[in-house]
Each structure stands twice: as C-alpha cells, then as structure tokens.
Amino acid sequence: MNAVSREIFNLPDVGEGLTEAEILSWQVAVGDTVTVNQVIVEIETAKAAVELPSPYAGTVLELLASPGDTVNVGSPIIAIGDPATAEAPTPAPPTENPATSKPAAEPTSAEPAGAQPTGAEPAAGEPAAGEPTGAKIGEAGADGRIATLVGYGPRPGTVQRRARKSPRVDAPSTPSRQSQHTESTVSAHRVDAPGTPQAAAPATPEAPAPATSDAPAPSARPLAKPPVRKLAKDLGVDLSTLAGSGPGGSITRDDLNAGATPAGGTNGAVDTPVRPVAPGGGERREPIRGVRKATAAAMVSSAFTAPHVTEFLTVDVTPMLELRDRLRGTAEFRDVKLSPLVFAAKAVCLAARRTPDVNAHWDEDAQEIVYYDHVHLGIAAATPRGLVVPKIRHAQGMSLRELAEALAELTATARAGKTPPADMLGGTLSITNVGVFGVDTGTPILPPGEAAILALGAVKQAPWVVDGQLAVRTVCQLALSFDHRLVDGEQGSRFLADVGALLADPGRAITY
C-alpha cells in the first residue's frame, strides 16, 4: 500500500487540556472529496461545540466514529486518502510457473535474524522512506506537544530516520498486513508445486502462515469504535476473538452482543445492564457528557472548596430605567440593546475598583492571593447544551455602549453553541441574570477560581416608600455570593451596596 494512500485523522485537543469530545455531526460522507482546511465534523467538548477542519486532502474512505459517540483525544475519527489504493486488497504475485517462483521474499539463513524482507512495508510504528516524521493532527510531536493546526511539524522530506536494528532473534520484525498477505501467497505457491526444490530453512523457526490470505494478521489490532472497545473492556471481552460485520470488518456492538464470551462466563448474548422501567412509567435517561458534565464537575468543586456566603439587597432601579429611556433616544445608543444587564455589568466594574478583593483569586498551591488589575467579566448564559459562562475581556475599560455590544455578541454566540473554549477561561468576576426567567433572586455558586458572583433578579413594579410616601416603583433584587476566604463580610457588603447605589442613582458613577 502506498505510504500516503490512507491518512488517519485523530481527534485533536482543541484547547486547554480537554480529554474527550462527542461527535455531533459529520459534514462529509464516505466517498466525498475534501480539501485541506475544509470543515468535516462538528464536535462538542466540555466547553463548547467546535468545527474541525481536515488536515488532509483526498477522498473520505471511512468514518471511524458515529454521531453521539464520545471519543478520547488522540483516537482516530476519519480516514482520508486515495480509494484506488487505500483499502484495495493486495494483488496476487505476477502470473508465473509456481515451480520457477523464487523464494527470495522470505529471509534465508544468510540473512540476519529479524531483517525485514526487501520491498515490504516498514514495521509497525516506522515511517516509510521519505515520509515526514513530524506529528500529524492529534498526535504528539517530538517535543511532546499535541499537533492541532494544519502545517504543524517539519516539512515532508526534511527529516529522515535510519533503519532500526531489531534485537529480536526469534522471528522477523512484524510486517505489515500487505507483506503478510504476499508472503503467505508465495508460501502457498511453494507448497502446492510438487518437485520444486525448497529454499534453505531460515535460521530461526517461522510463525505458521495464516490459514487463508484473507484472515487478519494475528498481531493486527481488531477494528472497533471507542464505545465498543470500552464496553468490551468493561465486560472483559477479547475483541480479537470476534468476527466483525461492520465497515472494513470492524466489530460492532451487535457483534459483541451476539458472540462475545464474558470473562469467567458462558457463551451467549452480552447485554448492557438496563434499569427496568415499570410499565407505563415515564422515564427518560441521557448520558452525562459535554457541557453538562463539565458544569457539574465545576459546581461540585466550587461548592465544596470555597466557603460561600450570600447577601441580598433590593434596589429601586426606577432612575436607571429612566436613564435608559433617555439614552435610547440618542444617536449613540439607538442601534444597541440597553438591557438592565448592561447597566449591572457597568456597575460591577465600577464597584470593583473600590473593593478589589472581589476581583481576586485564591491560589491554594502557592498559598497566595492574586489580585487582578483587569476585569474579565463572566456572563452566565443558558444554552440548549447547558450553562456556559463566556467572558468579556478587559470589561473595566469599556464604555456603556461597548459593554452593550460585547454582551449582545457574547450571548448570541453562546446560544448558538459556537463559543470558543478559550473564551470561557480566565474569568475574574461574574454575573448571572436570573431575572430573565421571572425569578426574584437566588444563591449563585461561584465559578471555580473566582471570588464573587452577582445574581441579577427580575425587574418589576412593587410598592416602595419614597420621601415618606408609598409609591409604585420598579425594583430589582440583587444577590452576591463570595468566597469567605478572600472576602470578609464588610468587603462583600460594601461591594453589593455600591452596585445597588449605582443602579439606584446612575449619576453616582461620576464619583467613582
């Protein structure tokens, strides 16, 4: 097989040490022609949905993972190459008289033990002559980094590796499937031709040839998708004992259920344990993965690591809404959305100047408190895939209009599931807007590593005392959760009071 006729694209780490991803949808099918950097698959990581481009050009030979599969980083997901040569069976040797065929394909006693037959493919793990040895997409390079970009690694032909000397003396180094097929065919010709003088026996005993030329090599790894391999591992099943009925002879879950033998068990169907459901009972189960899995881990870690304290404040935000109405009539703000969240974001950034303790991080390993000069403001967003908290970088230096534009772009991207993983890291202070659901307030859990998070409740009319008289005003409840290791009650109370004061009287901003 040509060394470049079949390229395997392994799932790369798309950023920040992710270990797995779920295949959401394929943008290509077997037989399609793809080009370098063409989007071929959409995956969902623990942080967001990401589109992956192809690092290779050619024809899609095989999709090695299905939508819904959870695949580990570094596992193969697609094969791309030339369909004319990639998986074609090895042709039989040229037609000739078997009695005159030369047994030169096998090592003789004059050859060193373990020498590789001339013309055979390199042993497993060895690059072909002229093939670049730089890391491919999803593979570790010489420096240990995972290649995630097209063009990563040395150029083809610039790196060469000299032939490795095999220390083994019991058998030749493992040949490729094509070499085994060719050798078994030559051996069959030699045995079936009576009267043909046999070549001198090799210095060491040979492994017996496969029973048929179509049988896989004994050392070949059975083809199976990662979920099937995991199920087989959990059940103690050896996949090499099963015959695959899937594409390319791959082993499917049905093959595993139909013919597997559990370790220590008896032959029979292997069924994944399923919790029985009472007839007529309503129950639906979904695997915990993706954003939901990452959110759960983060919330548990935060809740049982940082000592949470939550304080509440009800604010008359009628002046804030009056200011919003005036600004909407100006040319500067006519084309942007001025929601209460925009004003809360501005108030949080201003109040953090007076109480820097809420914009800090507890470094347990270094036993230090890290105070930030910048505010990377996290905005909690509810999406179809779960809760995400993308960040507005350097929010402390933005004007009200710039914050409004950043919020609109951030929320639209998050709800579409297109937030890059890097945009959900490195937050210093967060806001969650539970008021959009009609909720008065709540007790928010801190994002891991942050010192405070503000919950913005529903903005609604309520009776309120103004200058000793009962009136109907527009009010909003605020809730601030903070890490009591970093923020004392006095500091947390002052910060919450400052945010409330700015929303109740936006003119106070000029005093900050």
> Catalytic annotation on 484?
yes
Beta-carbon contacts of residue 268 (< 8 Å; ≥ 6 apart)? 261
Within 13 A of 67's CA, how many CA atoms are on the CB side?
9
Which DSSP letter does residue 327 get?
H
The answer to whether residues 435 and 456 touch, using CB atoms and an 8 Å cutoff, is yes
Q: Which of 130, 120, 101 is nearest to 172 (CA)?
A: 120
Exposed, middle or buried by CB within 10 Å (0-12, 13-18, 19+), for 80?
buried
Q: Give the Cα separation of 253 and 271 in Å (integer).
A: 10
Tokens at residue 349, please?
């950034």
Q: Which of 273, 266, 267, 269 is nearest to 234 (CA)?
A: 273
The answer to whether residues 390 and 48 touch, using CB atoms and an 8 Å cutoff, is no
Q: Give the Cα separation of 119 and 369 in Å (integer).
A: 64
**Which of the following is catalytic: 189, 308, 394, 484?**
484
* Secondary structure tally for the chain: helices H, strands E: 8, 17
User: Which residue intervals of 269-371 are DSSP H helices?
Assistant: 290-303, 318-328, 340-354
Beta-carbon contacts of residue 208 (< 8 Å; ≥ 6 apart)? none
Relative to beta strand 391-392, strand 39-44 is unpaired
* Matching residue, tokens 């937030």: 419
Torsion of CA 382, 344, 457, 328, to 10 degrees: -90
Exposed, middle or buried by CB within 10 Å (0-12, 13-18, 19+), for 95?
exposed
Q: Give the Cα separation of 357 and 496 in Å (integer).
A: 12
List residues with catalytic annotation: 484
